[in-house]
Amino acid sequence: MTLKIHQDHSRFKQIVRGKIKANLRKYVQKGEMLGKKGKDAISIPIPFIDIPRFKYGHKEQGGVGQGDGEVGQQLGPGAVEPGEGQQAGQGEGDHALEVDVTLDELAQILGEELQLPNIERRQNEKIVTQKIRYTGINTTGPESLRHFKRTYKQALRRQIAAGTYDPNRPIIVPMREDRRYRSYKLQNLPETNAVIIYMMDVSGSMGDEQKEIVRIESFWLDTWLRHQYKGLESRYIIHDAVAREVDRDTFFHTRESGGTMISSAYKLCRDIILADYPKSAWNIYPFHFSDGDNWSADDTRQCIDMLRNDVLPNVNQFAYGQVESPYGSGQFIKDLREAVGDATNVALSEIADKDAIYASIKDFLGKGR
Amino acid sequence: MPKSLTPRLEALRDEIHGYAKEFGLDFFDTIFEMVSYDEMNMVAAYGGFPTRYPHWRWGMEYEQLAKGYEYGLSKIYELVINNDPCYAYLMESNPEVDQKLVMAHVYGHCDFFKNNFSFRHTNRRMIDDMANHATRVRRWIDKIGVEKVEDFIDRTLSLENLIDQHAPHIRRNPDPKKAEEEVKANERVEGFKVDREYMRGFINPSEFLDSQRKRVEDEKQRAKKFPERPQRDVLLFLLEHAPLEPWESDILAILRDEAYYFAPQGQTKIMNEGWASYWHSTIMTRRALKDDEIIDYADHHSGTMGTRPGAINPYKLGIELWRDIEDRWNKGRFGKEWDECDDLRARRSWDKKLGAGREKIFEVRKHYNDITFIDTFLTPEFAMEQKLFVYGFNDKRNSWEILDREFRKVKSKLLQGLTNFGQPIIEVVDGNHENRAELLLAHKHDGQDLKGDYARETLRNLQSLWRRPVNIVTRYDNKSVMLRFDGTTHSEKKVEL
């Protein structure tokens, strides 16, 4: 048997890649991939990769099934063969085939398409982490790893052998000796670690539209940096006049009113870095998004001082994204540009709308730092 | 790389082989090969064959299979090729009891391949031919370039289901007699043979030659109304009449060959899977199973027989129908007397002790395909026992729901799904539509509309082979329409029939 399928497989992947590349700008702007993200992969609808035929729409057709239920009873989701017009929707959209692409591949495609340079790692020290690999079945182990099915099979087997199994009253009681457990091995994986510290202004002037832009953009930043570093942590800071650290979900869904003191966020960011991420072991990426309104010139001055003295010397790159909003003056980016715009590890980007995300990603990641 | 069986498995194979023979199964030599799960996925992606022509969709298939296996969603247990000898694969990592079950199942398939009438005309040297196809396509790729060849294959695959599913055999070349006549007609225009050049004007006066030419021209014109009758084998029609390059014809012929090879498997899915399942279960439970294997066997077997509400599992439906037939013929539950008996109690305890069940199922496996199988042997009692129902889509609730449990409707829906392999019936009606060398197809509408976007894309592909505008008459929402693609734009117009 020749293993020519590998050629066909890579050809398939190449085609998928081509389609994704061709549609990348659309994917980036729409943010439609965010909802389809799994743990390491994302399922992307690829138009026209399957082979069109003269055929019936399944919805039109219906079919014969098997099982209990009254006439009129709904069949549960997933009961009917998937893929054929289950979701309402007409026209070309129906035609798409969902393809799983790993985030790593997606990052590669993003990198090729935007011509992003690989990041020069500031810290090359390897930190070793351990990963669990499940390798087999054992008769001992922690309860949390008990293999339910194997255990019951073993018990059923024993009961039948002992003649205590009654098919009319099929009750199976596993005993100590029946229990089966997954066994595992620990593997050492070397890692280069990096942390992204996201900061966002959630004061009243940042609307849903602006936050959506931040959400989409951060997805791509995450994806790229995760591709570059094996171990990536993320921290989230929201601020209006005061700053606090939150989880990812809160980060994207909080809306406060009140004024804006950006310095509060930078202060917290600095504290987090000092406390948890020694420069010697971590590649550090603070990203800050706001609409460019700050409370006072005085606060802006504080921000710049803090950036110069505490943040920039410690991080790979500091990035500021200014999302246009109808309420903001958009002053902050100008101040930053004037004060630290020349620094090599500062990236500034103005994001007018969703269409601008594509270019903005390049602003942030194009320096390869 | 596949390996031959271990001595232990060889012994098991001999044992199962013995049981299969003992029960009267009759099959070609069957060669088992051991593969790893990854190799299994590869072979499965190729439809069971070790070699196929290069194409990305095998890669897509492979990716889906490999993912399904990794996530624990699916696992391929058996793979058999209809070939003489039959080839089948065993997965290395499977426990012994699974291997026995698979072997027994495989012998069931091989018996079916050898004996069922649908397979009578299939190519039993398909393994070799598939390898030859691969070589031919690779050669064309070397000459023409991978992009062009792949593109052409994509387009042709789009038309792959447009064959005459029930054609008893493949006719690859146009009728030789007709071709001969054509040549003769052309000769006639040259006039009679002339020995002495100065006599030519007298023997073949120019008026005579002109009239001859005109007649031939007229005949040709008339012949251009083709095909004479609507032709189901659209691929053959294209092969004979589309302006294809030699390499295109070759690839089209290859794909058509393969489509015909697989057609009988599509037409006998329920019977064939049911038959193999019937035999693995019979051989295992009556002969091969050891006491300590029962649980694993039952687990595996019930996994195969699992149903979900919105689909028919051919393994399950098939095995139950075979068992039902056997039971009915054992008990004499057929014929006039049985049909006319209205007494429920009598029916329930009906047993004429005929014992003709085994013989009957062997006969049925010879002469039926899924359609005639269901049509003849699906009974109201069976449909009720098996809890069959018709489901459909409810637009208001935006979900699938059970529509009906009435026997007649269940049966007709089931048959509808099997007719032409569940594909729309499409014919070439005219290869010179409007006298402009346009292609006209007709969809024999049976109450179900074509999927619109797919139809348009398919027309696009058809046009690229025909190279002139293509049209198809079909119905949407009860109105006849003609879809058209002229090479640049799609259009649609109402037609009166």
Give tens-digit pLDDT for B273-313: 999 999 999 999 999 999 889 999 999 999 899 888 888 89
Mean pLDDT confidence for B120-137: 95
Strand partners, A199: A237, A288
pLDDT at B478: 87
Query: In terms of Cα–Cα distance, which of B34, B33, B16 is closest to B25?
Result: B16
| Confidence bin at A90 (pLDDT 50/70/90) | very low
B130 contacts on A by Cβ (under 8 Å):
none
Mean pLDDT confidence for B53-72: 87
| Confidence bin at B366 (pLDDT 50/70/90) | very high
| A8-17, A66-75, B167-176, B372-381: range with lowest mean pLDDT | B167-176
Nearest to A51 among B154, B392, B401 (CB): B154
Q: Does B317 touch chain A (CB under 8 A)?
A: yes
pLDDT at B223: 58
Residue of A nearest to B58 (CA): A8
Instruction: Go through chain B and tell me how many residues it has.
Output: 497
Contact (CB, 8 A) for B161 and B81: no
Contact (CB, 8 A) for B234 and B200: no
B50 contacts on A by Cβ (under 8 Å):
1-2
pLDDT at A228: 85
pLDDT at A81 over 80: no
User: Where on the phi/psi map is residue B27: left (φ > 0), alpha (ψ -120 to 50), or beta?
Assistant: beta
pLDDT at A2 over 80: no
Q: How far apart are CA A87 and CA B192, in angstroms?
A: 71
pLDDT at A266 over 80: yes
According to DSSP, the β-strands at A193-201 and B399-404 are unpaired
pLDDT at B268: 95
| Confidence bin at B10 (pLDDT 50/70/90) | very high
Look up residue B472 and give its two tokens. Answer: 């198809």
Residues 6+ apart with CB under 8 A from B115: B26, B365, B366
Q: How far is CA B407 from CA A347, B374, B387, B403, in A?
A: 71, 12, 10, 12
| Confidence bin at A184 (pLDDT 50/70/90) | confident
Contact (CB, 8 A) for B366 and B117: yes
Handedness of CA A224, A228, A232, A234 (dihedral sign): negative
Residues 6+ apart with CB under 8 A from A3: B42
pLDDT at B56 over 90: yes
pLDDT at B48 over 60: yes
Mean pLDDT confidence for B427-441: 92
Contact (CB, 8 A) for A194 and A225: yes
- Residue tagged 């690829």 (tokens): A46
According to DSSP, the β-strands at A181-191 and A127-138 are antiparallel
Q: Under an 8 A CB cutoff, do A64 and B414 touch?
A: yes
Q: Under an 8 A CB cutoff, do A66 and B312 touch?
A: yes
pLDDT at B259 over 70: yes
Q: Under an 8 A CB cutoff, do A13 and B307 touch?
A: no
Residue-wise pLDDT tens digits, A185-243: 887 766 667 899 999 998 877 888 888 889 888 888 988 888 888 778 899 999 988 89
pTM: 0.79
Residue-wise pLDDT tens digits, A288-339: 999 888 888 899 999 999 999 999 999 989 999 999 887 767 889 999 999 9
B454 contacts on A by Cβ (under 8 Å):
52-55, 95
Q: ∠ at Cα A111 (A323, A207), nearest 5°?
A: 15
Q: Under an 8 A CB cutoff, do A62 and B310 touch?
A: no
Residues 6+ apart with CB under 8 A from A352: A324
Residue-wise pLDDT tens digits, B141-161: 999 999 999 999 999 999 999
pLDDT at B7 over 60: yes
pLDDT at B185: 54
Q: How far apart are CA B163 and CA A255, in angstroms?
A: 62
Mean pLDDT confidence for B477-495: 93
Q: Does B59 touch chain A (CB under 8 A)?
A: yes
The upper half-sphere exposure of residue B320, i.e. CA atoms within 13 Å in the direction of its Cβ, equals 23
pLDDT at A89: 30
Q: How far is CA A287 from CA A321, A324, A346, B219, B416, in A?
A: 7, 16, 10, 80, 60
Q: Which of A244-253, B37-46, B321-330 has the highest mean pLDDT?
A: B321-330
**DSSP-based three-state secondary structure for B303:** helix
Mean pLDDT confidence for B111-140: 95
Q: Tell me the backbone φ, ψ of residue B335, rounded to 5 degrees.
A: 90, 180
Look up residue B482 and give its two tokens. Answer: 């003609």
Pick the more confident residue, A35 or A119.
A119
- Positions of E strands within chain A: 41-46, 63-66, 97-102, 127-138, 181-191, 193-201, 231-239, 243-246, 283-290, 318-323, 346-351
Helix H or strand E encompassing B439: strand B438-443
Pick the more confident residue, A179 or B64.
A179
Q: How far apart are CA B492 and CA B477, in angstroms?
A: 14
pLDDT at B267: 92
pLDDT at B169 over 60: no
The DSSP output letter for A39 is S
| Confidence bin at A248 (pLDDT 50/70/90) | confident
Interface of B with A in 156-215 (CB under 8 A): 157-162
Mean pLDDT confidence for B455-467: 95
pLDDT at B497 over 50: yes
Contact (CB, 8 A) for A313 and A223: no
Contact (CB, 8 A) for B402 and A75: yes
Residue-wise pLDDT tens digits, B395-424: 888 888 999 999 999 999 999 888 887 789
Contact (CB, 8 A) for A66 and A77: no
How many angstroms away from the CA of B383 is the closest CA of chain A? 9
Residue of A nearest to B445 (CA): A56
Q: Does a cis peptide bond (omega within 30 degrees of 0) precede residue B230?
A: no
Look up residue B418 and give its two tokens. Answer: 């099997």
pLDDT at A85: 32
Q: How far is CA B430 from CA A154, A325, B39, B223, B240, in A?
A: 67, 62, 46, 12, 14
The mean pLDDT value of chain A amounts to: 83
Query: In terms of Cα–Cα distance, which of B185, B181, B183, B180 is closest to B212?
Result: B185
Pick the more confident residue, A103 or B33.
B33
Instruction: Go through chain A and tell me how many residues it has.
Output: 369
Residue-wise pLDDT tens digits, B207-250: 777 877 777 777 666 655 678 889 999 999 999 999 999 999 99
Q: Does B42 touch chain A (CB under 8 A)?
A: yes
pLDDT at A92: 34
Q: How far apart are CA B486 and CA B383, in angstroms?
A: 48
pLDDT at A9 over 80: yes
